[in-house]
Amino acid sequence: MPLALLLDENISPVVAVQLARKRPDIPVQSLHTWREGALVGAPDADVLLAAYEEGWTLVTYDTQILSDLAVLFETGVPFSGLIFVDDKTIPSNNFGALMRSLVYLWDHEHTADWSQRLLFLPSA
């Protein structure tokens, strides 16, 4: 499953808009607008399942998801990838740094198989 970025509700939808404008070749959506925002506030497991159904890799600052959904990961429930962003490395209010890092990741990893993949996003 190739890389397609779904930015979770804790990432400003402005990032998806600006990234799409700068790099229209990168499939990117904000959870705020994807499926008309129906999954904003939904449990993480529901978001991951919906993302899997459509081939989206979730980008999130929420590392709590690892412990909350450990059982899912251990039992092999399918998901389309999960990219964690560390606020100490890329502050959530630094849209430029987040966009540069996502572009760098896309340029180097977009053809890789993202099924069941977990990654901490490095700073570009």
pTM passes above 0.75? yes
- Model confidence at 69, pLDDT cuts 50, 70, 90, reads low
How much is the pLDDT for 17? 97
How much is the pLDDT for 120? 93
Contact 57, 28 (CB under 8 A): no
User: Distance between CA 18 and CA 69 in Å, rounded?
Assistant: 31
| Structural domains of the chain, count | 1
Given a cut of 90, is residue 64 above it in pLDDT? no
Domain that holds residue 95: 5-120
pLDDT, tens digit (0-9, with 9 covering 90-100), for 10-55: 999 999 999 999 999 999 999 999 999 999 999 888 898 899 999 9
